[in-house]
Structure 1
Amino acid sequence: MIVGVSRRCRAHAVAAVAVCTLSASPLSALRAQNVRADSVRQPPVSSQGVLPVTGCSGQVISDIIVITQPPFTDRLPRDLEWVRRTVRAMHSNTRDEVIRRFLLLKVGEPCNQIKRAESERILRAQPYLVDARIRAYDDEAGGVRLEVETRDDFSLLFEPMFRGTAPVFRGMRLGESNLGGNAKQVAVEWRDGLAYNDVLAMRYTDYQFLGQRDELRLEARRNPFGQQLQLDVVRPYYTDLQRLAWVASVGGTREPMRLLRGPIEQNAVNVRRAYGNIGALTRVGPVGRLKLVGFSLTREDERTDSLPLLLRREGPRPDTLGAAPGQYIAQNVMRANVLLGFRAIRFVPVRGFDALTGAQDIRVGVQVGVAAGHSLRIGPAVDNDRFLATNIYLGWGGEKWFAGAQGITEARYSVDRDRWENVLGSGRAAWYFRPAVRQTTVLQAEWAAGRRMQAPFQVSLADREGGLLGHRRSREPGARRMVFRGEQRFVIPTRFNVADAGLAAFAEAGRLWAERSVPYSVDTPWRGTLGVSFLAAVPPRSRRLWRLDVGVPVSNDQFKQFEIRLSSTDRSRTFWRDTRDVERSRERTAPTSLFTWP
């Protein structure tokens, strides 16, 4: 910065030397970034282009400057400027100290390119940030000055819930995802339960618990016919540079699990669970090609009522319509588990894959996680079993195209019955192709399967996440599900800075298979849906994708119907996450991935 300004000073008249010299001072330059000519204070902006850019290659870090930006950084057209003013008035920028705690670099230390890139990626992984950049600038004293620039996502949570029949207004979710800029999420929810209890829920997450890179998660929920309580304290495994990660959790649920059974009205069985987990991992091996070794102690107590119920609009009734689903085996176990992992991964920044135009970091390489446990007969824990869970991920590609696959499997071996039970697996394979800045093609396959199930389990094409659009009223259950999806997405150019917009055409097809241990399961033919989607990302380059999907079902299912669905999701932070109908049947203490758990 000083070099560039001094050259300009020599080109001016002698009378301007004093002014140029004053502007060459770093402190004056930083102040000048915040004040316009009319003395109105402005948010700080990047100094890129003013200071000479250097590499991060061992120079001593003399200073770290953090610049946090609100959701809208660019001025909007005059008629829409009120949107920008309103959002900024309601929004609190993420605090500087929150950003600094995620940095792996400190003042006085050598500037390391790997630590710089990993710090940038960790910041981008935070759900309340849209993007993050860390740049190094020459301080003209043999060192570098780091400039950390982040941009916030919308922090207000406001989700009204409506339905097509009276009462039209069903409920609301209200909260703040970055309370006071302190990396805390608070949300409350109410939903009309009709003949049952109203849903009352509270969720609190502190992404920097006690000022550290630890997370505190608390969720309390009263469901229409049950409740849920969960507390987690976690040090996530953010980076290969990290030495230790750990988790401690406890919780319990009581809720009915609805079971589809074809043309007969669905029934439900009440499931009670209590669980706890404490464990830790440590790194072994070099960065970029490392191994993880750890240990955990888990407790699981699960019981399913033998008498099914009909959950009708006017309230619960005994089920007298058809055959009962059968007897489920209770589980009361404490296990000692060994955690093993191998990882040879690098991260590639891309845009427009899972987000409309936003940035994300894709994993390229191989990642394997294994959890193996044996039961301990201590106190009320009487089961004698072994447990095995695996998570395998493969990814390759770059900015133009990427292909990845991930599979998660778990199984329990009963020593008393001498057989494997509750064999549950799910996964996803996907191919992304982005030939132009405004075009993205996505082809993917998703699967889920359960075998020898001794716990309640069903999958269907009616599931909102794992099923097909236009089949939400489908009544056919299965033990295995395969769904193929294809989407061609286009970004619509716009001169307004309010949001990014896009259009997509999609097609999807899926089917189910039966298995004897899954009650009422049937084989179905292939069924499909064709449709178009209207896409939006607010603010621009946000990773949260709003979709208005319009789907026309193509199948012989008598319950198919034309469907319009509004959704809002952020899928840029993880390649695969279990659908709700699979997740509810998994053991609560089994880690789905050693690299996101702890």
Structure 2
Amino acid sequence: MVGRSEAGIRLLKRVLFGLGVALVSVQALAQAGDDGNCIASSVQPEAIDLDQPRDQLARQSDLVIPEGARIGRIRIVRRPIFDTSEPEQDNVLFRTLNTLNTPTWKSALRAQLVFDQGDSYEPGLIAESERILRRREYLTAAWVGVTRICGDEVEVSVLARDTWTLLPSFGASRSGGENTTNAGLSDPNFLGSGKSLGVSYTSDPDRTETSLDFDDPNVLGSHWQTGFSYDERSDGRGRSAYLERPFYSEQSGWRAGLRGVDDVREESRFVGAEAIADYRRNHEYASVDWGWRLAERGDRQLRLLGGYRYEAFAFERLPDEPALDVLPEDRTLSYPWIGFDYRQNRFREMVNLTRLQRVEDVRDGFVWRTELGYSSPGLGATEDRVVLNMSFSDALLASDTRYARYTLSQSGTYRLDESRVENLQGTFSLDYFHGGSVRWNSWYTNLSFTAARNLTADQQLLIGGDNGLRGYPSEYQQGNRRALWTLERRYFPDWHPFSLFRMGGVLFTDVGRAWFDDGRHNGPDNGVLKDVGFGLRLASSRIEVQRMLHLDFAFPLDGDDSIDQVQVLLRGRTRF
């Protein structure tokens, strides 16, 4: 009896084994059949050179996407900071940095995409996801494309390379004749999560400040964003927090947000490049806003916006400070507002525009945004005001070798109790780039003009080393009109020492002036100011890639005898 049972068990095992083999064979045949219906692109992420931006732009999928195709698979391909398969990058330091770095989570990369598995294939969403990834501080480069077609399904590959983000910072900069020092520790990709955390200490001519900052661009993998900052200053404090769901994509249907700020600091009033007196400013701000996508035709989109804002400014004199001629008046604005955003969602990829050897996405179209609000004492305001803010920008031309854009903006209020405008400012700006996208050198010029009317005592229109005139001290002239013209010859050599740094150079001239239209005194030299100079640019292709070191030597051609014959500006910037 026992023998028969054992024989039955052995027979059952053979049957189950045979069924298993048959099932595996059927699956293998099915897979082979599927592979036979699949077409792979000759452009695969493994072959793309992320150190050569033009190679990224040239690597476009050669597949013909069938109509009605769906996204069947999303493949995430992560590259380490250094490619140790390359002999010049295969060393102890680079291998150690790769080992210590926490790779960006695949879920963090997937959360940035504006498409998902199972969605209909839309080329615009593929391109937009690539633009979003390129904006992230923790990635040096990104590429998104279709790499495989199986019937009516496509495989989309997402290629991204990490940058070293956990970075202690110790630095000093000089601009407009004034020094700034800083130290801190920050990580915009904390433990590979895509979240940003940082602590810093800064000392400048105005104050010392210790700050703690946190930002989460995808809360729990969603498109909600949140963050806060906590600042302790020698002259006050700073607190801010926000929670919002933005228009994360051109296709998203709505947005909503909350934001709050509590900021206390001492400010200076300048006359003739000198701070004549300090006062304390207390700023409170709170807002709630929403938006809907109303209509879309082709690449043009209309959005309806609205919300409520509360903004209060309080000022007080400081002991042992010279008496101000005019202390700013306390003011509170409390108002609902409504507006619209009308835009053209058309973009172009370029190289060597404002970054060193990196792909940049520029808007080849317009954006028009307008807000109108009414602030009333019944809502807690100090007086009745109409609030109007407007901005309009458009690309004049965009080609492989040239890009031009202009911007018009206006902000201010109209006080109904005094029948006059207050803090009204309007600005026109024009930028033109020529040559950098196809050559290793380019021309850049900018022309801007700002006009202001009835500025309150805490609002000054200044010009100097901090805002465009590199050969002069900060706040050298003031007024209610300001004009500035800059011309630069930029150099972008294809030199990549140690596969770690990118270098650039610039020759420049600045011409500008700030003045009062009624002829009031505007500074030590009330005429047009000019300077010439040269500079170096240094950026890393592997470490904190969003930052660029500027070292400029500027020589003033005008001004009074108090100005140094050469201004040395050492600064950290995000653009060339």
TM-score range, shorter chain: 0.7 to 0.9
Distance apart, 1:516 and its partner CA: 6.9
Cα-to-partner distance string for 1:39-70 (whole Å, 9 max, x where unaligned): xxxxxxx9x99x97444753222211011223
Comparing 516-525 and 220-229, the one that deviates more = 516-525
Q: 1:288 pairs with 296, 299, 316, which one? A: 299
Distance apart, 1:385 and its partner CA: 1.1
Q: Determine whether 1:160 maps to 2:176.
A: no
Q: 1:212 pairs with 222, 245, 248, which one? A: 222
Q: 2:108–2:193: 8 Å Cα contact kept in structure 1?
A: yes
Q: 1:296–1:339: 8 Å Cα contact kept in structure 2?
A: no
Q: 2:133–2:139: 8 Å Cα contact kept in structure 1?
A: yes
Pair 275,516 (structure 1): closer, same or farther in 2 beyond 3 Å: farther
Partner of 2:315: 304
Partner of 2:13: none
Distance apart, 1:523 and its partner CA: 7.7
Q: Determine whether 1:548 maps to 2:551.
A: yes
Measure the CA separation in 2 of the matches of 1:145 and 1:535: 40
Q: Which amino acid aligns with 1:558?
A: D
Map 1:422-501 onto structure 2 (within 5 A).
Answer: 422-434=423-435, 436-464=438-466, 466-472=467-473, 475-494=476-495, 496=497, 497-501=499-503
Q: Which amino acid aligns with 2:101?
A: H
Map 1:46-57 onto structure 2 (within 5 A).
Answer: 53-55=63-65
Q: Determine whether 1:111 maps to 2:121.
A: yes
Map 1:168-179 onto structure 2 (within 5 A).
Answer: 170-179=181-190
Give TM-score scaled by structure 1 length: 0.78
Q: 1:250–1:275: 8 Å Cα contact kept in structure 2?
A: yes
Q: 1:274–1:301: 8 Å Cα contact kept in structure 2?
A: yes
Distance apart, 1:482 and its partner CA: 1.6
Q: Which runs of 5+ in 2 are unaligned?
A: 1-31, 47-55
Measure the CA separation in 2 of the matches of 1:515 and 1:353: 36
Q: 1:54–1:136: 8 Å Cα contact kept in structure 2?
A: no
Measure the CA separation in 2 of the matches of 1:208 and 1:141: 33
Q: Which amino acid aligns with 1:389?
A: N
Distance apart, 1:451 and its partner CA: 1.4
Pair 85,261 (structure 1): closer, same or farther in 2 beyond 3 Å: same
Partner of 1:64: 74
Q: 2:309–2:334: 8 Å Cα contact kept in structure 1?
A: yes
Measure the CA separation in 2 of the matches of 1:470 and 1:301: 36
Secondary structure, counterpart of 2:68 in structure 1: strand
Task: Please report the RMSD computed on the Cα atoms of aligned residues, expressed in angstroms.
Answer: 3.3
Q: 2:448–2:485: 8 Å Cα contact kept in structure 1?
A: yes
Partner of 2:506: 504
Q: Determine whether 1:144 maps to 2:154.
A: yes
Q: Which amino acid aligns with 1:117?
A: A
Partner of 1:355: 355
Comparing 209-218 and 409-418, the one that deviates more = 209-218
Pair 374,398 (structure 1): closer, same or farther in 2 beyond 3 Å: same
Cα-to-partner distance string for 1:490-541 (whole Å, 9 max, x where unaligned): 2223364222222221111111112679997788212122111212221179
Q: 2:290–2:306: 8 Å Cα contact kept in structure 1?
A: yes
Partner of 1:530: 532
Q: 2:372–2:386: 8 Å Cα contact kept in structure 1?
A: yes
Q: Which amino acid aligns with 1:257?
A: E
Distance apart, 1:481 and its partner CA: 2.0
Q: Which amino acid aligns with 2:117?
A: V
Measure the CA separation in 1 of the matches of 2:101 and 2:451: 44
Partner of 1:403: 404
Distance apart, 1:80 and its partner CA: 8.0
Cα-to-partner distance string for 1:544-588 (whole Å, 9 max, x where unaligned): 43322222222123332212222232249xxxxxxxxxxxxxxxx
Q: 2:471–2:532: 8 Å Cα contact kept in structure 1?
A: no
Q: Which of these two proteins has the greater Rg computed from alpha carbons?
A: 2
Distance apart, 1:78 and its partner CA: 4.7
Q: 1:228–1:253: 8 Å Cα contact kept in structure 2?
A: yes
Map 1:90-129 onto structure 2 (within 5 A).
Answer: 90-129=100-139
Distance apart, 1:387 and its partner CA: 0.2
Cα-to-partner distance string for 1:472-501 (whole Å, 9 max, x where unaligned): 256433333222111111222336422222
Q: 1:451–1:515: 8 Å Cα contact kept in structure 2?
A: no
Q: 1:509–1:526: 8 Å Cα contact kept in structure 2?
A: yes
Q: 1:570 pairs with 537, 551, 574, which one? A: 574
Give TM-score scaled by structure 2 length: 0.81
Partner of 1:254: 264
Q: 2:173–2:570: 8 Å Cα contact kept in structure 1?
A: no
Distance apart, 1:120 and its partner CA: 1.5
Secondary structure, counterpart of 1:118 in structure 2: helix
Secondary structure, counterpart of 1:285 in structure 2: strand
Cα-to-partner distance string for 1:323-377 (whole Å, 9 max, x where unaligned): x231433212310100212112301111110112111111112211001001244
Distance apart, 1:229 and its partner CA: 0.9
Secondary structure, counterpart of 2:98 in structure 1: helix
Q: Which amino acid aligns with 2:301?
A: L
Measure the CA separation in 2 of the matches of 1:68 and 1:538: 19
Q: Which amino acid aligns with 1:453?
A: L
Pair 539,34 (structure 1): closer, same or farther in 2 beyond 3 Å: closer
Q: 2:45–2:159: 8 Å Cα contact kept in structure 1?
A: no
Partner of 1:330: 330
Map 1:220-299 onto structure 2 (within 5 A).
Answer: 220-262=230-272, 266-286=276-296, 288-299=299-310
Measure the CA separation in 2 of the matches of 1:209 and 1:365: 31
Cα-to-partner distance string for 1:175-233 (whole Å, 9 max, x where unaligned): 11111111111111124589x97421111111112321222121111222111111111
Partner of 1:575: none
Q: 1:54–1:138: 8 Å Cα contact kept in structure 2?
A: no
Q: 2:465–2:474: 8 Å Cα contact kept in structure 1?
A: no
Secondary structure, counterpart of 1:317 in structure 2: coil
Q: Which amino acid aligns with 2:405?
A: G
Secondary structure, counterpart of 2:299 in structure 1: coil
- The percentage of counterpart residues that share the same residue type is 18
Distance apart, 1:416 and its partner CA: 0.9
Measure the CA separation in 1 of the matches of 2:182 and 2:192: 27
Partner of 1:188: 199
Q: Which amino acid aligns with 1:350?
A: M
Q: Which amino acid aligns with 1:567?
A: R
Secondary structure, counterpart of 1:365 in structure 2: coil
Measure the CA separation in 1 of the matches of 2:309 and 2:559: 46
Measure the CA separation in 2 of the matches of 1:346 and 1:389: 24
Q: 2:431–2:445: 8 Å Cα contact kept in structure 1?
A: yes
Pair 467,298 (structure 1): closer, same or farther in 2 beyond 3 Å: same
Q: Which amino acid aligns with 2:354?
A: D
Cα-to-partner distance string for 1:115-144 (whole Å, 9 max, x where unaligned): 211221222222332322111123444421
Q: Which amino acid aligns with 2:371?
A: A
Partner of 2:95: 85
Q: 1:356–1:543: 8 Å Cα contact kept in structure 2?
A: no
